[in-house]
Amino acid sequence: MALAPRAFARRTWLAISVLALIITGCVSTSTASPTPTDAISVLGCQDVIASEVAPPSGSSIILDAVALPTGRALQANPNSDPHASLFAKDGLFIHRGTSFDLIVPDSWRGRLTVSWGSLAKPTGHLRVPGCRPTQRMPSSSRWDPTDNWLVYPGGYFVSQAACVSLVVRAGQAEHTVLIGIGTPCPGQSAPPLPA
């Protein structure tokens, strides 16, 4: 008879534990769901269109990871996207094998997005996962697997011509870059005239 109370106590404890798990699992917590601009898009490494020995003049190498157009403003053309009236086409030059993030700062959210590779839509946060592709997309430009710089198609979407900010984050290091889209930032040359 002494075993019956222990078995009952054990079953009661098990039932209470299961009930507690069920209740806590069903409790709603108040968490903010990310907006589309908060989602992280990942660059498809296979979307590379070219390779180069070095980035173009007019670009600055940031955190030894990416080359961005800091010496020249980009030409901005009308765009059909309802969220951005202008698009500035500019190849993304990444240092082969480096991992980093390109982030639109809060002050530019809703006015600036970026897209490179075959991303489905522009984003406010692009992650580059240490790409080391061995071949480029068909019908593309120069390709040499020993080149240190990989080129991806894409560019910047803006609501209007502006000098915008873009954050580059690699590991614990972070650097904010000014990019002229349709209009120069201080010290940049003017964008090229439309052809």
Question: Tell me, what's the pLDDT at 20?
Answer: 35
pTM: 0.77
Question: Tell me, what's the pLDDT at 135?
Answer: 85
Query: Cα separation of 114 and 97, whole Å?
Result: 21
Write the pLDDT tens digit of every residue in 9-65.
Answer: 444 443 443 333 333 232 222 222 234 446 899 999 999 999 999 999 999 999 999
| Two structure tokens written together for 108 | 């530019």
Among candidates 100, 92, 95, 96, which has minimal Cα distance to 132? 96
| Two structure tokens written together for 58 | 């007019």
Per-residue pLDDT averaged across 91-95, rounded? Answer: 97
Query: What contacts 152, CB < 8 A, 6 or more positions away?
Result: 43, 47, 48, 49, 91, 92, 94, 116, 117
Query: Cα separation of 47 and 116, whole Å?
Result: 9
Residue ranges of the domains in the chain? Answer: 36-181
Per-residue pLDDT averaged across 133-161, rounded? Answer: 90
Query: Cα separation of 105 and 10, whole Å?
Result: 55
Compute CA distances 171 → 10, 53, 130, 156, whole Å. Answer: 50, 24, 12, 24
DSSP string, 50-63: EEESSPPTT-EEET
| Two structure tokens written together for 103 | 């982030």
* pLDDT greater at residue 25 or residue 128: 128
Question: Tell me, what's the pLDDT at 79?
Answer: 80
